[in-house]
Amino acid sequence: MSDGLVEVGPATEFEDGDHAIVEVGRAEVGVVRADGEFYALRNQCPHDGGPVCKGIVQRELLGEFTGTGERVEQYYGEECIISCPWHGWSFELETGTHIGDERIQLPMYDVVVEDGIVYVDTGE
Amino acid sequence: MIDAARERIIDCDWHYQDSFKEVAAYMPEPWRTKYKHSNWDDAGVKQNLSSFFPTSTGDRQNYGKVVREHSNYPDEPEEPERVREGMDFLDIDVSLQISHLILAMGGVNADDKRVQAFTKGYVEYMLEEVLDPDDGVYGLAPMPYSDVEASLDILDRIEDEEAYVGACFVTAGASPPLGSRKYDPIYERCEDLDLPVVYHTGGSGLDEYVRAGYQEMIETHTLGFLESNMSQIVSVACQGIPEKYPDLDIVFMESGVTYIPGLISRLDEEYLKRPEEAPLLDTRPSEYITDFYFGTQPLEISARNELLELCFDMIGTDRLLYASDYPHWDFDSPSIINDLPMLDDDDRRAILAGNAEGVFGL
C-alpha cells in the first residue's frame, strides 16, 4: 500500500459484472465493474454478513404506474445493482444504498485507475 | 454474546434436496417402475414441476440473485456429503433433514398411493444413503397423513431407528385440518413412541393461495406460508390435541414468530366468548399454544426489537428452536439468533441447541 492506495489489479482483466476481493485494513472490500465503471463496496451484507460483492450484477428492475387500471409497466432502468447471493439483498452500485430501503447502506470506497491498474483509495 | 463457533448448534430444519430419481429405487411397486420411467427425474428439485411455461408467481431464487455455494440446490439433486459441507459452512453440529419434495404433497389430488409410496421410499432412501447420527445428521419422517394406516406403517418402520427423531406433517393443503379426530391414531402412536410431531408449512397451492390472481411471490409466500401454519395451530389447539395426548411434543416450523402473538390473542378473545366450541380445553388456547415449540426461521429481524422481545416473552425462549431452512432462499444463519440484543447467553444456547436437545432427545 502506498498513498492510501490498495492495489486490485489490471483494469483490462475485468469484464462488466466481474469482481475482485481485497483487504482494506480489517475490512473485506469488493471491487466490481459495471458499465465500464469500477465500484468498491464492503463485502459484508448488512443483513447477515453475506459476500454481497460476489453476487450478480444487473440493471435495476423498475415499475411505473401509467394510468388507472393499466398494468404497471416494468422495465430495466439505468442503475446497476448488485445482489447478495445468500438472500438477495440488493444495492445500487453508485451509492451502496439498498434498493428497497434507502436507510440501509453498504459502506463505499473510492476507486482510482492509474496507469491501467485499479486501486481502492482508502483516503489515508 | 456467545462464541457460536465453540458452542453446540442444532438446526431443526434443513431440507435434503431429494429427487424422484433417487427415491424411486426405494419406493414400492408399481411406483418404483412408474417413476423410473417417468420424466419426473429431478422435477421438483428444479421447482419447475409440470410447468412447460413458468406459471409460478415468482422464482424462489429471485431470478438469479440467490445462489447456494454449499448445496446443489436448486439445479441438481443433493449429494449426501454436501449436507455436511453446508453444516460446516453454517457451523451447525446437528441437523434435522426434512424432505424437500414432500412440501408439495398438499397439491396431490389423485386418488392413488403416490404420496404413501414416496414417503415410504424416502424413509428408506434417507436411512440408507443420507442420515448419519454419528455425524449429526438426523431426519424427520414425513407422514402421508391423509392415509392413517400408511402413516402408522411408517411409524412402525422407524420405531427403532435412532436416525429418525420426529414425524413431519406438511401443513399446506391438509384437509380436514390437522386437529381432526381422523388423525388421532397417528398422534397417539407418536406419543407412545415419544416422537415429536413437527408441523412444517409448505408451498403447495401457493400460486392460487385461497384465491387466484396474486401477482408476485412476495404476496403468496408471505401469506401462504403463514396461513398454512396458522390454520393448523388453530385446529390442533381448538380440537384439543394437547388434552387428548398430553405427552405429545408439538412443533411448528417455518413461519417466523411475529404471527403467534396476534393469532393467540384473537383466538383467546373468541374462546372467552364461545368456549363451548372447544370443550376439551381447560383454559385459554394460548396456554396450550405457548406450550408448543416454534422454529424461529425466517425470523423477522428487521422488525422493531421491542416487538421481537414481546414475541419471545409471550412464546417463551424455552419454546424456540433454531432452524436454518438451508438451502432454501430465505435461510437463517445461527448468527441471526446470536446477534439478538434482547437475549441473554442462556437464551441463546437454549434456542440454538438446548431446547432441541430436550424435544428431540439429541
So what CATH class is B4-360? Answer: alpha beta
- Mutant choice from A56, A89, A99 vs B, greatest count of B C-beta within 10 A: A56
Long-range contacts formed by A11-20: CB under 8 A, 24+ apart = A11/A38, A11/A113, A11/A116, A11/A117, A11/A118, A12/A116, A14/A38, A14/A118, A16/A57, A17/A56, A17/A57, A19/A53, A19/A54, A19/A57, A20/A118
Q: What is the band of A1 on the pLDDT scale with cuts at 50, 70, 90?
A: very low
Mean pLDDT lowest for which of A66-70, B146-150, B189-193?
A66-70
**Average pLDDT of A53-61?**
95
Residue B330: its chain A contacts at CB < 8 A? 87
pLDDT tens for residues B281-339?
999 999 999 999 999 999 999 999 999 999 999 999 999 999 999 999 999 999 999 99
Per-residue pLDDT at B28: 86
Residue A2's pLDDT is what? 56
Q: Per-residue pLDDT for A50 more than 80? A: yes
Chain B hits for A88, CB-CB cut-off 8 Å, are 62, 65-66, 329
**Which residues, including other chains, have CB under 8 Å from residue B326's CB and lie 6 or more apart?**
B11, B14, B15, B71, B86, B90
Q: Where exactly are the structural domains of chain A?
A: 5-121
The whole-angstrom separation of Cα B15 and Cα B103 is 10
ipTM over 0.90: no
Tell me the chain A residues in contact with residue B331 when contact means C-beta distances shorter than 8 Å: 86-87
Q: What pLDDT is attached to residue B58?
A: 74
Least CB-CB distance to A48: which of B65, B66, B333?
Answer: B333
Out of B64, B333, B336, the one facing A56 most closely (by C-beta) is: B64
Q: Give me the pLDDT at residue B50, please.
A: 39
Q: Say yes or no for a CB contact (<8 Å) between A88 and B336.
A: no
pLDDT in tens, B217-264: 899 899 999 999 999 999 999 999 999 999 999 999 999 999 999 999
The matching CATH number, chosen from 1.10.1660.10, 2.102.10.10, 3.20.20.140, 3.40.50.150, for A5-121 is: 2.102.10.10
Residues A32-44 pLDDT 10s = 999 999 999 999 9
Interchain CB distance below 8 Å, B66 and A85: yes
Chain B contact residues (CB < 8 Å to A): 62, 64-67, 69, 329-333, 335-336
Q: Which of B63, B65, B91 best probes binding to A when mutated, by most A CB atoms within 10 angstroms?
A: B65
Query: Contact at 8 Å (CB) between B235 and B179?
Result: yes
At A81-124, the pLDDT tens digits run 999 999 999 999 999 999 999 999 999 999 999 999 999 999 88
Q: Which amino acid is at A114?
A: E
C-alpha cell recorded at residue B254: 417455518
Model pLDDT, residue B136:
97
Percentage of chain B exceeding pLDDT 70: 95
B151-174 per-position pLDDT tens digit: 999 999 999 999 999 999 999 989
- Who has greater pLDDT, B215 or B203? B215
Q: Rounded mean pLDDT of chain B?
A: 92
Select from B92, B13, B49, B8 the least CA-distant residue to B327: B13
* Residue B304 Cα distances to B219, B225, B300, B341, angstroms: 22, 22, 9, 11
CB contact under 8 A, B65 and A48: no
How would residue A5 be classed by pLDDT, with cut points 50, 70 and 90? Answer: very high
Q: For position B54, what pLDDT does the model report?
A: 55
- Domain ranges for chain B, please list them: 4-360
